[in-house]
Structure 1
């Protein structure tokens, strides 16, 4: 796209504006773009806005599996996009990991409610579970916070086909903290 403004050009233009013009530009941007409004809310309102975005992302995930009306559409890309957007917006590792685990919990609950789905579905859940485990392995406190939920997912997946339960079990019991605990006992 030839008419796309580069960051260096944007900075040059912004440097030419006075404070009032910058304020007007930013307020126009907030009115024009929902994403900009959300970003600015998180930036200036802090924790309250982050909690609201977390709540919204959880709702978006849940709605793909268990909407208020009708049946889940299982648009997994939409549910994963809610997690990705939250992470980009907030950089909150704890709440992002919470969303990853929530995605797998709800997906597992969906299967236990409606029966086996397909390999693509389980691969998506397994991929997210693995990402959550990887995040937890970077920080023992994070792992300790989520250990019970990660373990419960493995238990709840018992009996689900496509190798889903076996892979969850392998991922959970092969993380470094579980291996350390096993060696200590």
Structure 2
């Protein structure tokens, strides 16, 4: 599939009048859920971002510990929920919160159901290290997440 380059897209968009641009954005909104979420976060703001955060958090939780039944433990699905949230909102604090939540529910899952496999633990360690790395750059973030980071260490002792 041939795709338009950003520079060509910008040139074409400059040729549009306001009414045509509104129509184009409206069509994009109708076509794509990510566009709906992105525009909602831009125009509605905090309320929309919080709703997107809660939705992403539920998706992560449901892969491990859903309200009913057993988690499918699709690590990619849980990570995608975090990545999509980050792309759509650009909210660093909540993205880190989701990343740490991923590790927390993963740890709870393995403590509940027993040892998993190396890929699972590698994913947990990788995500934890990303959170630590960001916290090392910003003392404010470290203070926010310190207790939860310490709890993961305690809760994961003796597993994997």
| TM-score of the two chains, using structure 1 as the length reference | 0.84
Q: Could you tell me which residue of structure 2 aligns to residue 12 of structure 1?
A: 11
In the TM superposition, what is the alpha-carbon distance from 1:68 to its structure 2 partner?
A: 2.9
Q: Could you tell me which residue of structure 2 aligns to residue 103 of structure 1?
A: 102
- Which string of whole-angstrom CA distances, capped at 9 and with x for unpartnered residues, describes residues 43-79 of structure 1? 1111111111110110110010012332111110111
In the TM superposition, what is the alpha-carbon distance from 1:151 to its structure 2 partner?
A: 0.2
Aligned length: 160
Unmatched segments (≥5 aa) in structure 2: none
Q: Could you tell me which residue of structure 2 aligns to residue 76 of structure 1?
A: 75
Q: Does 1:86 align with 2:74?
A: no
Q: Could you tell me which residue of structure 2 aligns to residue 150 of structure 1?
A: 149
Q: Does 1:140 align with 2:139?
A: yes
Q: Does 1:123 align with 2:122?
A: yes
Q: Does 1:30 align with 2:44?
A: no
Q: Could you tell me which residue of structure 1 aligns to residue 63 of structure 2?
A: 64
Q: Distance in 2 between matches of 1:115 and 1:158?
A: 13
- Which string of whole-angstrom CA distances, capped at 9 and with x for unpartnered residues, describes residues 93-141 of structure 1? 1111101110000000001111111111011000000000001111101
Unmatched segments (≥5 aa) in structure 1: 163-185
Larger Rg: 1
Moved over 4 A (4+): none
| TM-score of the two chains, using structure 2 as the length reference | 0.96
In the TM superposition, what is the alpha-carbon distance from 1:153 to its structure 2 partner?
A: 0.6
Alignment check: 8 A CA contact 2:34 2:88 kept: no
- Which string of whole-angstrom CA distances, capped at 9 and with x for unpartnered residues, describes residues 135-175 of structure 1? 11111011001000000011111221x3xxxxxxxxxxxxx
Alignment check: 8 A CA contact 2:86 2:92 kept: yes
Query: SS state of the match for residue 5, structure 1?
Result: coil
Which structure would you say has the larger RCO, counting Cα contacts within 8 Å and 6 or more residues apart?
2
In the TM superposition, what is the alpha-carbon distance from 1:25 to its structure 2 partner?
A: 0.8
